[in-house]
Structure formats: C-alpha cells, structure tokens
A = this chain, B = another copy of it.
Amino acid sequence: MYLENITGPEDVKKLSLEQLQSLAGEMREALFHRLTHTGGHFGPNFGVVEMTIAMHYVFESPKDKFVFDVSHQTYPHKMLTGRAYGYLDENRFHEISGYSEPSESDHDIFTIGHTSTSVSLATGLAKGRDAAGKTGNVIAVIGDGSLSGGEALEGLDYAGEMNSNLIIVVNDNEQSIAEIHGGLYKNLTELRESNGTASNNLFRAMGLDYVYVEEGNDIEKLIAAFEQVKDIDHPVVLHIHTQKGKGYELAETNREDWHWCMPFDRETGKPTMTFEGEDYGSLSGELILDKMAKDKSVVFVTAAVPGSVGFPKENRDKAGEQYIDVGIAEEQAVAMCSGIAKNGGKPIFGTNATFIQRTYDQYSHDVCINQSPVTTILNYTSVWGLNDVTHLGIYTISMLSNIPNLIYMAPTNKEEYLVMLDWSIEQQEHPVIISMPGNGVIGAKYPVAASYDDVHTYQMCEQGEEVAVLALGDFFQMGQEAVSEIEKKIGKKVTLINPRYASGLDEKMLESLKKDHRVVVTLEDGILDGGFGQRVASYYGASDMKVLNFGLKNDFYDRYDAAKLLEENHLTKDLIAEDVCAILQK
C-alpha cells in the first residue's frame, strides 16, 4: 500500500516505476471508494490517474504550478498532495471539494469550476513569474472538450506569442460531457491518427510548439514526455491521448453517462439513489420535441449540457437537425440564436444558469439591442441548485434582469412554466429568459395566464390589505406560507402576488397597492443586490410604503446547506412573518 503513505509529491518521486503502477491501481480503488458513496466526476478522474502521477513525479509542485481546467479531474492530484484521506476515509469525504481549492492545499492555485479558463490563468501565472523575477514551470491541463470555449481559444492564441516557459497539456479523451462538437475536433482526430505528425495543426497555427504522446495512460511514457518539456523556455502544447473512464468497463464504453455519476453499485453500475418523478428538464424536452414535430423552424441549442435541459440522447435523436450542440461555447450559442431568430427560425437555448455568465455581452449586444426573439431556459438558477461556489445560479437575476429589452420570466409552477415556454417560443417580439423552478415540479394553485403578451404584468392571487407579498418564481410557495403566517398574526387577509417577471415592474399594480397597504414584501430566489426586490424598493422610495426585501445576502457560498442559508437570510415563513409584524408594530 503506497497511497496511504503519500503526504505530498516528494513521496511520489521516491517510488519505482513498478511501485507507481501499483499506486495507480490503489488510486483507482480510492476513486471507486469515494465515488460509489458520494458520486461525482467519474470519467475525467479515471482517465488521468497515470498523467497526474507522472506530473507529480517530474515537476516540483507547488513551485511548479498546475492549473487544471474545470478542475473536476483533480481527484488524483488531491490524493498525491496530502489529501488521500478525502478518498480513503468515508468520514472525511466531506472535507475535500470536487474542484481545485486553495484553502485545502498550496498545490491548488485557483478555485476553478468553469471550463476553458486554464490556459488564460496559466499565461497569467507565467507572466507574473517573469515580472516578479521568479522561476518554475507553469502547467495548464485542459481537456479536449474545453478547447472549444472562447476563453481557451483566446488563451492559446495569446500563449502563441509568449516567449517564456508555459506547458499546455491537452488531455484528449475524445469526449466532452456529451459528444464533442466543432471543427477543431476533426484536427485533433487527424493529429491522433497521424501520431501527431499531420502537417495541419491547430496548435502550431496558433503559434505554439507541439509534442504528441499517444500512450496517455502509460506512466513511463508520460514521465519521459514531461521530462522532455520540463523547464522549456517557450510555450509548448503536450497533446496527450488518454482514455476517459479508464479502469471501469462501463465507463469506458458509455462515456457520457459516466462523465458524472450518482452514488452507485460497483458490480452493476446502477445508482444507489434515484430521483423519482418529473423534472423541469424532461418537461421542457417533451414540450420542445412536440413543437419541433409540428414546426421545422423550432431549433434547440445547447452548449454541451443537453442532459440538464431535457435533451438526453434519445431526445437528441428525435430532434435530428433541429437540435444543435455547439460544444462548450456559450457565446456562440447565444449569438447564433440571435441569427436564427433573424432568419425565420425559432431558437431556444438551454443551459445551466452558472454558464450563462459567459454571455452577458451576447445577450446585450447580439440579442437585446437587436430585439431578437430568442428563448432561453435556465436550469439551476436556484438556491436549491448546484451548490459548489463555482456553479451557483443565485446571481442570475442580478446579472440578466437589468439588461434592457430582456424579459426575465420566473414561473412558480409546472403549468405556468409550460405556458410561458410555449408563449415565448411562438412570440416574435422579445428576448426571453425563463428560469426553471428549483423547488420541484409543483402544480398550479392559481389560474395560469393563456398568454404573456402583456409583459411585466403581475398576477393578483389573493387580494388582501395592509401587507402585500410579492413572491417571485420558486419562492412563491414560501410566499404563500408566509402569507398564512402573517394572516394568523395580524388577523387580516394579506395580499399575495405572483410577479411572474424578474425584469421590469408592474407599476399599475404597485401603484394600486398604495391605497390599502402599508408594507410590501418581496421574495426572490437569488442575491438581493441588483435584483427584483431592490427595484421595487426604489419604486416605493419616495412614498410611505414600507418595503422589506427578502433574498440572499450578496456573497459567494460554497457547499452550503440550503435550509440553513435560507434561515440565515430570514427566508422561512416564520421569520418573514416576524419581520413583517415588527414593521407593522413600529
């Protein structure tokens, strides 16, 4: 047993080749141990065990600096840098995040969770090193799936004119999350098939030196390759052919399903936890496929995360040419949708909220200035969504709802979501964002509008007095409960409003509330700053109306407990009711 005794890279360097090979086997066992219990990124980690061993064998981390793209493939790196316990000891799994994390170790330079950033970050480390008169290698590790992202391509292009040490490891496992997309993958194939000798070479065309390594899971070959480029005096691409999911047959053969896994049974590969029932992804897929069958101009676009937004393989097959995966290239996806809309198509873009951060400019410049009727559906906008600090969706309202011309719809239930989506696809006037509720698929309690042509009008659900609760999106049900609590406390019927839109204001309804209400409460599933509630507070600023905004304090949160975070922010029916009553009693 070697792994348990590895306290850092210096212990890796002491091992013989044979011992390193045993170590690789132990590391895969440790990966199984953790992943069968907790789930996580499977394929990316199983593929880079040997590469990571060779890197730590050859380089001197942390003086030499590794930047792992997306960093979902850093489990082996963590094991070799003093954190093996996070994979060996069930009681300590929670101490280790699923991404690189400087607070855990000096061997992690950045917190990283988005793709396509490693080359740019590494060019900076190299430039900082040179400017500060330091030494050491800088090594970026980027997967082939991440290469299509604009930031990565900008980084490669810039690296192509640098003139000091920078090593860019292209970990080519022939796969993104789903299948890879984009013309550059033809070139990667050409390079693999020619053992790196093809005269046409994307990396050389970007001005970079280039070395190819076919045996990307052979420790000896990898050590030789890293030794060849160590201390190089200019940027070089080391193109390494690895096998995603190596060491588990199911994962080797079904790479999309095993990119990320739930806790599972090793013998059968079956998940040991399952979610039953409907989800907004599959509801979206159904509705869109139905539309596609009737209307060839309906086109669904995603940027490498089809599974999150209703397009698993069987739906992609059904959609045929009406389905487009641009690969990891959100800017391309959004701008392309604007073009589709301007030439007779009905585009729908679907992705996870955290990745929409890459497209502020495309929404503003390419879509909204041009009033292109692009529909976007976003998963994981909610506090109940992904909870790694790099993957939060709670900034989405703040970021997008203030872009002029953009209609941001926040449905409160299943029926409303589906009608909004249908309406948005068919209308030809507005760019529209629709967030999928994060609190499960809940049925409508109040009637759902037949059309949303009259944008930025709220729905009066319960007409009361004294207090009005404007409960946006998937906080609507919390608003309903808070209304009951407040009613109990004050003995009056309280107004409940479904604002339906995170953008804009229904000034007519807001104005009407002044007559017989003293307090307006807003609830929104996101940070308060720049959001819906602050707009309402500003609207009433000069009036006698008291406004209480409920939402999340503006901060980065990592692997939080949603219930606890909500409570800290007074986002429970009881705390809301208490705060409202405190105001009423003033």
CA distance A583 to B362 in the complex (A): 41
CA distance A529 to B532 in the complex (A): 9
CB pair A151–B150 under 8 Å, yes or no, is yes
CB pair B546–A538 under 8 Å, yes or no, is no
CB pair A541–B540 under 8 Å, yes or no, is yes
Most chain B CB neighbours (cut-off 10 Å) among A102, A205, A530, A540:
A205
CA distance A207 to B181 in the complex (A): 11
User: Inside 8 A of A199's CB, which chain B residues have their CB?
Assistant: 199-200
User: Inside 8 A of A298's CB, which chain B residues have their CB?
Assistant: 131
Interchain CB contact (< 8 A) of A110 among B110, B154, B342: B342
**How far does the Cβ of A237 sit from chain B's closest Cβ, in whole Å?**
11
- Kindly state whether residue A345 has any CB partner on chain B within 8 Å: yes
CB pair A297–B132 under 8 Å, yes or no, is yes
User: Inside 8 A of A129's CB, which chain B residues have their CB?
Assistant: 343-344
User: Inside 8 A of A186's CB, which chain B residues have their CB?
Assistant: 160-161, 207
In the complex where A131-B344, A158-B183, A344-B132 touch, is A151 in contact with B120 (Cβ < 8 A)?
no
Interchain CB contact (< 8 A) of A332 among B154, B201, B339, B368: B154
| Interface residue total, chain A, C-beta cutoff 8 A | 122
CA distance A159 to B148 in the complex (A): 12
CB pair B369–A390 under 8 Å, yes or no, is yes
CA distance A186 to B121 in the complex (A): 23
CB pair B155–A181 under 8 Å, yes or no, is no
- Kindly state whether residue A358 has any CB partner on chain B within 8 Å: yes
Interchain CB contact (< 8 A) of A160 among B161, B183, B369, B528: B183
CB pair A201–B205 under 8 Å, yes or no, is yes
In the complex where A202-B205, A336-B124 touch, is A331 in contact with B131 (Cβ < 8 A)?
no
- Of the candidate stretches A27-35, A263-271, A393-401, A416-424, the one touching chain B is A393-401
User: Inside 8 A of A331's CB, which chain B residues have their CB?
Assistant: 120, 150-151, 154
- Kindly state whether residue A527 has any CB partner on chain B within 8 Å: yes
CA distance A44 to B15 in the complex (A): 61
Interchain CB contact (< 8 A) of A555 among B404, B534, B547: B404
- Which A341-355 residues have C-beta < 8 A from chain B? 341-345, 347
- Which A143-180 residues have C-beta < 8 A from chain B? 148-151, 153-161
- Of the candidate stretches A80-88, A215-223, A322-330, A427-435, the one touching chain B is A322-330
CB pair A156–B133 under 8 Å, yes or no, is no
Interchain CB contact (< 8 A) of A345 among B110, B127, B297, B329: B127
Residue in B closest to A374 when the chains form the complex, CB atoms: B124
- Kindly state whether residue A556 has any CB partner on chain B within 8 Å: yes
Residue in B closest to A110 when the chains form the complex, CB atoms: B370
In the complex where A343-B65, A547-B538 touch, is A366 in contact with B399 (Cβ < 8 A)?
no
In the complex where A155-B332, A161-B183 touch, is A366 in contact with B121 (Cβ < 8 A)?
yes
CA distance A133 to B535 in the complex (A): 43
CA distance A329 to B200 in the complex (A): 24
Residue in B closest to A362 when the chains form the complex, CB atoms: B151
- Of the candidate stretches A5-13, A111-119, A273-281, the one touching chain B is A111-119
CB pair A361–B357 under 8 Å, yes or no, is yes
Interchain CB contact (< 8 A) of A339 among B122, B343, B360, B583: B122
CA distance A493 to B351 in the complex (A): 54
- Kindly state whether residue A439 has any CB partner on chain B within 8 Å: no
- Kindly state whether residue A125 has any CB partner on chain B within 8 Å: yes
In the complex where A151-B332, A365-B113, A529-B402 touch, is A200 in contact with B205 (Cβ < 8 A)?
yes
Instruction: Give 29 pairs: A residue, B residue, CB < 8 Å, sorted on A.
Output: A65-B343, A111-B369, A117-B335, A123-B332, A124-B338, A125-B340, A125-B342, A127-B324, A127-B343, A127-B345, A129-B344, A131-B321, A131-B322, A132-B344, A150-B331, A156-B183, A157-B184, A158-B327, A161-B182, A161-B183, A182-B206, A202-B202, A202-B205, A202-B206, A357-B361, A368-B556, A530-B531, A541-B549, A542-B583
9 tightest A-B contacts by CB? A160-B183, A124-B339, A150-B150, A183-B207, A132-B344, A128-B343, A120-B335, A541-B547, A128-B345
| New contact pairs (17) apart from A67-B339, A117-B366, A360-B399, CB-CB < 8 Å | A120-B331, A124-B340, A127-B340, A127-B343, A128-B297, A150-B150, A157-B183, A158-B183, A183-B206, A200-B204, A205-B205, A360-B360, A369-B556, A398-B530, A534-B534, A538-B549, A542-B548
